[in-house]
Chain A
Amino acid sequence: MLSVANLKKTYGDFTAVNSISFEVQKGEIFGFLGPNGAGKTSTINMMIGLSRPTSGEVIIDGIDVRKQTKKAQSIMGIVADESNLYNEMNGFENLCFCAALYGMEKSEREAKARDLLEEFRLKDAGKRPFKAYSKGMKRKLTIAAALIHSPQILFLDEPTTGIDVESSRQIRKMIKALKEQGTTVFLTTHYIEEAERICDRIAFIAKGQIVASGTVLELMDSVSHGHSIRFVTSKFAENLTDELQSNFKGSKVTIQSDNTLIMESEERISLLPVMNFLYDKGIDVYEAKELRPSLEDVFVKLTGIESSVLTRDEKKGGRK
C-alpha cells in the first residue's frame, strides 16, 4: 500500500531524514516511534506531498507521490501534528468544508459529517465554533475531518500528544476500528505504550534513521536471545545454583535475592521439572514468571537513546 525507498531530506547541510526505506501493507497500522527531532514529521510531510524529498521515492497504492501528488492526495487522510481546523467555523461546517475540498457533493458531505460527529461523540459540539473546543475535542474533530472522504490510507502525526488519558484511549479505539474497516494507518508517536498497544509493526526512528523495525515480538526477539524465568521461592541456598545448572543443561542460574532466582536458557524452559526439583529439596515455589524485555528496554538497547527522552514528554503532556 505504501512503499518508501531511500527517502532523504536535508535542510541546508542538516540531514533530517537520512535515506529511509520501509513498506506498509494494506490494512496495517504502522508506527514511527522516536524522540523529538527524530525526523517523524519531516518524513510524513514528504509522504503526503507537503514537502519535497531531497531524494528517494514514495509510492502509495501504485501512485508515485512526487509525480502524481494530487492523485495520491485524493486517497489520503491527513492529521497534522497540530489540530489545524478553522477556528471561526463550527464542527459541522469544518467537516463539510473539508469534504468539499475533496469534491464531495453537498448532500453526501452533510450526511457524512453528521455520521462522523456522532461516531466521535461530538454531536453537541458540532454546533459550537472550533475555537471553543477543548484540546481533546479539537484532536478528535481533526481526525474526523481527515476521514470525511473515506481515505484508503490515513496519516496521523502524533495523534494523542497533549491529550488526556481518556481521550487518547478513545482515539486509539477509533484508529483500531478504522483498521478493522480496511484502512491503512501510518502514525508517529513518542509514546512507547501507544506504539506497543495499537501498531501492528513499529519502526524506531532516531536522528533521521530507522534503527529497527518489525512487530513488537520481532523487536523484542532482536535484542533478547533465549529465555529467562524468575522463580519466587520460600527459601534458597547458594549451593543449589550449581546443582540446578548441572541438572538442567544449558541453563544459567543467578540469585537475585534471598528468595528470588533467575534461570536463563537458550531453549524454552519447562517449568514442572524445575519445580519438582526444588520441591524435592523442600523448597516451595510461589511464583514463576517469564521475563521479557519491555519495548522500552528494546528501544534503549537499539537506539542507544535513554527512554526518558520519550517518557518525559508523556508526563509533560507534550507540546502544544
Chain B
Amino acid sequence: MKSRIAFWNILKKDIKNYYLKPPNISWGIIFPLSWTLMQLIRSPGENILELLPGLMAMSVLFGTTSMLSVTITFERSGRSFERLLLAPISLNVMVLAKIAGTVLFGMFNAFVPIIFASFSTDLKGVNFGIILPAVFMIAVSSALMGLMIAVSANQVFEAQTFSNFFRFPMLFLCGLFIPISDLPLFLRPISYFLPLTYGADMLKSAVTGANTLSPVLSFGILLFFSVTLFLISRHNINRKWIL
C-alpha cells in the first residue's frame, strides 16, 4: 500500500517535471517528423506504411534511452536521487517507478508518427493488437538500456554521449533500414543481440506483414531481454549507488 503511493507519486512527479516539459515533448515529434519529410522528399512515391515501423521504433528509442539516463543522472548530480534510495521502498519499486514514466513517454512518442500517417494514408490494415505490445516492449527494453547507461554515467553529458553511442548503431543494425540479410556477415550476430531487432520485426508484422519471426516469439525474446537488463541494472545500482 505504502509502496503503491510512493510508486505513483514518483511516476507523477517525473511526468510533470520532465516528460511534459515542452523541449522534451518536441523531441518525440520533431525528430520523427523531420525524418519522415526527408524520406518523402528523397523518394516521393514511397508508401508511408513502409516507413512507419522504422519511424515508430526511432521515436520510442529516442524518447526513452536518453530521457531516463539523463533524468536519473540529473537527479543524481543534484543529489535529490538520494531521497529515492533512502525512501523505505524496495529498490525494485523505485526503479520500476522511474522506468514507468519513460515507458509511457516512449509509447506516446510512438503514436505521433501513427497520427501523422493517419492523415495521408489508410491505416485499416495495421494490426494494433500487435503494435501495442511491440511498442510497449521496445519502450521497456530501451528504457532499461537507458537505466544501464545511467548507472555507468556520472554526468548528464556522459549520459547523452553514451546513449547516442548505443542508439545510432542500433538503428542501423536492427533491420529497419537495412534488412539484416543485407548486412555484412560479421555484423549479423550483433543484430540478433539487439532488442530493437525484435521490436522492429514485430512492428513490421503489424504494419506491412514483412516480418521474419513470429510476433509471439519476438515478444518472448524481448521479455527475456528486459528481465535480464532489469536484473543487471538492479545489481549494478546496488553495487554502484550504495557505496
Task: Tell me the A residues contacting B by CB distance below 8 Å.
Answer: 45, 48-52, 70-71, 73-74, 76, 78, 80, 82, 84-89, 97-98, 100-105
| B221 in the interface (beta carbon within 8 A) | no
Q: How many residues of B contact A (CB 8 A)?
A: 24
Complex Cα spacing A100 to B5, Å: 6
Complex Cα spacing A78 to B87, Å: 10
- Least CB distance, B21 to chain A, in whole angstroms: 9
> Looking at the complex, which one of B9, B13, B83, B88 makes contact with A74 (CB distance below 8 Å)?
B88
Known interface pairs A71-B88, A74-B88, A97-B9; A103-B82 also in contact (CB < 8 Å): no
- Per-residue contact bits, chain B 78-91, to A (CB 8 Å; 1 contact, 0 not): 11101111111110
Are the CB atoms of A102 and B86 closer together than 8 Å? no
Q: Which residues of B contact A88 (CB under 8 A)?
A: 17
Known interface pairs A49-B86, A89-B17, A101-B84; A84-B9 also in contact (CB < 8 Å): no
| B212 in the interface (beta carbon within 8 A) | no
- Per-residue contact bits, chain B 1-33, to A (CB 8 Å; 1 contact, 0 not): 111011011100100010000000000000000
Are the CB atoms of B88 and A84 closer together than 8 Å? no
| B115 in the interface (beta carbon within 8 A) | no
Complex Cα spacing A103 to B3, Å: 6
Complex Cα spacing A78 to B90, Å: 18
- Least CB distance, A85 to chain B, in whole angstroms: 6
- Least CB distance, A107 to chain B, in whole angstroms: 12
| B187 in the interface (beta carbon within 8 A) | no
Complex Cα spacing A82 to B80, Å: 10
Known interface pairs A86-B17, A86-B80; A101-B90 also in contact (CB < 8 Å): no
Q: Which residues of A contact B88 (CB under 8 A)?
A: 70-71, 73-74, 101-103
Are the CB atoms of B5 and A78 closer together than 8 Å? no
Are the CB atoms of B2 and A48 closer together than 8 Å? no
Are the CB atoms of A52 and B86 closer together than 8 Å? no
- Least CB distance, A20 to chain B, in whole angstroms: 18
**Could you jot down 19 A-B contacts, CB within 8 Å?**
A45-B243, A50-B86, A70-B88, A70-B89, A82-B79, A84-B78, A86-B13, A86-B78, A86-B80, A87-B78, A89-B17, A97-B9, A100-B5, A100-B9, A101-B83, A101-B89, A102-B87, A103-B88, A104-B5
Q: Which residues of A contact B6 (CB under 8 A)?
A: 100-103
Q: Which residues of B contact A102 (CB under 8 A)?
A: 2, 6, 87-88
Complex Cα spacing A227 to B74, Å: 57
Question: What 4 pairs between A and B have smallest CB-CB spacing?
Answer: A103-B2, A100-B9, A74-B88, A101-B87
Q: Which residues of A contact B87 (CB under 8 A)?
A: 73, 101-102
Query: Interface centre among A45, A48, A49, A101, by most B CB within 10 Å?
Result: A101
Closest to A51 in B: B243
| B242 in the interface (beta carbon within 8 A) | yes
Are the CB atoms of B13 and A97 closer together than 8 Å? yes
Are the CB atoms of A51 and B5 closer together than 8 Å? no
Closest to A74 in B: B88
- Least CB distance, B223 to chain A, in whole angstroms: 28
Complex Cα spacing A100 to B10, Å: 8
Interface residues of B in 164-188 (CB under 8 A from A): none
Q: Which residues of A contact B90 (CB under 8 A)?
A: 70
Complex Cα spacing A85 to B79, Å: 8
Are the CB atoms of B86 and A48 closer together than 8 Å? yes
Complex Cα spacing A178 to B172, Å: 60
Interface residues of B in 136-175 (CB under 8 A from A): none
Known interface pairs A70-B90, A103-B2; A85-B80 also in contact (CB < 8 Å): yes
- Least CB distance, B229 to chain A, in whole angstroms: 24
- Least CB distance, B14 to chain A, in whole angstroms: 10
Complex Cα spacing A102 to B83, Å: 10
- Least CB distance, A263 to chain B, in whole angstroms: 55
Q: Which residues of A contact B86 (CB under 8 A)?
A: 48-50, 73, 76, 78
Are the CB atoms of A105 and B5 closer together than 8 Å? yes
Interface residues of B in 54-82 (CB under 8 A from A): 78-80, 82
Complex Cα spacing A129 to B17, Å: 12
Q: Which residues of A contact B242 (CB under 8 A)?
A: 49-52
Closest to B94 in A: A101
* 10 extra A-B contacts, CB within 8 A, seeds A89-B17, A97-B13, A103-B89: A45-B243, A49-B242, A52-B242, A74-B88, A82-B79, A84-B83, A100-B9, A101-B6, A101-B9, A101-B10
- Least CB distance, B191 to chain A, in whole angstroms: 40
Are the CB atoms of B243 and A84 closer together than 8 Å? no
